[in-house]
């Protein structure tokens, strides 16, 4: 009876075939964003890289939140195939406890979505996939496959993960008020200027990196 009525499986042959085809063509996900401790591939870069190749193979990613018995929600990531098959990941979110709950939640969303998406697809940033498994074209040069990353200047805006990390770091300083006061002075800001609204550029992060030791 089992052979005539097999139980449905999320790992159906069409989904597996589509995922294999996706891995044959998806290019490397380049680390183009700057963070305090080095470069990383932000959520925008990950999605813009994988989405066209997912669609070509009849696949799409869906990410949503569901409540849990604990305080933190669950991030549900689904890899959906046009056949109706799906592969599902559920990731309990970790949310920091800073002074701005919305920024803490937003930062957790960005990080969690990126990690869950890469894990579900079996990818990592700078993982060179382009041509490695394809049997209809030779492997291309890694240098040719990766466009040069743009170097950010002091006036460029911070990415959300960098912004959230810097604000959380400042809030942890024993001399946080001194840090905020000196920041306002360094950038000619009024004494009422809110850090969450003015700490927005690479030059602000550079100032923090150079002066952080004064406030710990």
Rg (alpha carbons) of the chain, rounded to whole number: 22
**Is 3 part of any domain?**
no
Q: Is 159 helix (H, G, I), strand (E, B) or coil?
A: coil
Task: Say yes or no: 62 and 115 in one domain.
Answer: yes
- Residues (pLDDT < 50) of the chain are 1-10, 128-143
Residue 110 lies in domain: 13-137
Task: Say yes or no: 174 and 133 in one domain.
Answer: no
Predicted confidence at residue 147, as pLDDT, reads 57
Task: Say yes or no: 30 and 110 in one domain.
Answer: yes
Task: Say yes or no: 67 and 174 in one domain.
Answer: no
Nearest Cα to Cα of residue 126 among 18, 45, 22: 45
Task: Say yes or no: 127 and 68 in one domain.
Answer: yes
**Is 176 part of any domain?**
yes
Task: Say yes or no: 98 and 190 in one domain.
Answer: no
Q: CA–CA separation, 146 vs 50, rounded Å?
A: 15
Predicted confidence at residue 56, as pLDDT, reads 94
Predicted confidence at residue 65, as pLDDT, reads 92
**Spacing of C-alpha 34 from chain mean position:** 12
Predicted confidence at residue 77, as pLDDT, reads 96
**Is 150 part of any domain?**
no
Nearest Cα to Cα of residue 161 among 121, 113, 116, 119: 113
**Is 187 part of any domain?**
yes
**Is 152 part of any domain?**
no
Predicted confidence at residue 127, as pLDDT, reads 54
Predicted confidence at residue 100, as pLDDT, reads 80
Task: Say yes or no: 128 and 93 in one domain.
Answer: yes
| Torsional class of 101: left (φ above 0), alpha (ψ -120 to 50), beta (otherwise) | alpha
Say what the pTM is.
Answer: 0.53
Task: Say yes or no: 78 and 31 in one domain.
Answer: yes
How many domains does the chain fold into? 2
Residue 86 main-chain phi, psi, to 5 deg? -150, 155
Whole-angstrom CA distances from 118 to 29, 38, 138 are 10, 19, 26
**Is 186 part of any domain?**
yes
Burial 197-212 (b: 16+ CB within 10 A, else e): eebebbebbebbeeee
Predicted confidence at residue 113, as pLDDT, reads 92
**Is 42 part of any domain?**
yes
Q: What is the pLDDT of residues 54-65, one digit of tens each?
A: 999 999 999 999
Predicted confidence at residue 153, as pLDDT, reads 85
Predicted confidence at residue 150, as pLDDT, reads 66
């Amino acid at each position: 009876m089992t052979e005539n009525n097999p139980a449905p499986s999320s790992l159906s042959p069409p989904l597996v075939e589509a995922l294999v085809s996706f891995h044959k063509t998806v290019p490397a996900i380049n680390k183009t964003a700057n963070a305090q401790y080095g470069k990383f591939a932000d959520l925008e870069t990950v999605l813009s890289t994988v989405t066209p190749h997912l669609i070509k193979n009849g696949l799409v990613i869906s990410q949503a939140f569901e409540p849990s018995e604990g305080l933190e929600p669950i991030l549900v990531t689904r890899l959906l195939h046009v056949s109706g098959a799906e592969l599902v990941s559920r990731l309990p979110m970790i949310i920091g406890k800073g002074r701005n709950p919305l920024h803490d939640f937003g930062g957790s969303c960005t990080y969690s979505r990126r990690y869950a998406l890469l894990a579900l697809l079996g990818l990592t940033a700078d993982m060179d996939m382009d041509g490695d498994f394809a049997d209809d074209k030779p492997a291309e040069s890694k240098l040719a496959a990766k466009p040069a990353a743009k170097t950010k200047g002091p006036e460029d805006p911070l990415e959300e993960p960098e912004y959230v990390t810097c604000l959380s770091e400042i809030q942890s300083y024993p001399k946080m008020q001194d840090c905020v006061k000196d920041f306002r002075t360094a950038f000619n800001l009024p004494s009422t200027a809110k850090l969450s609204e003015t700490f927005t550029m690479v030059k602000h992060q550079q100032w923090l990196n150079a002066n952080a030791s004064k406030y710990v």
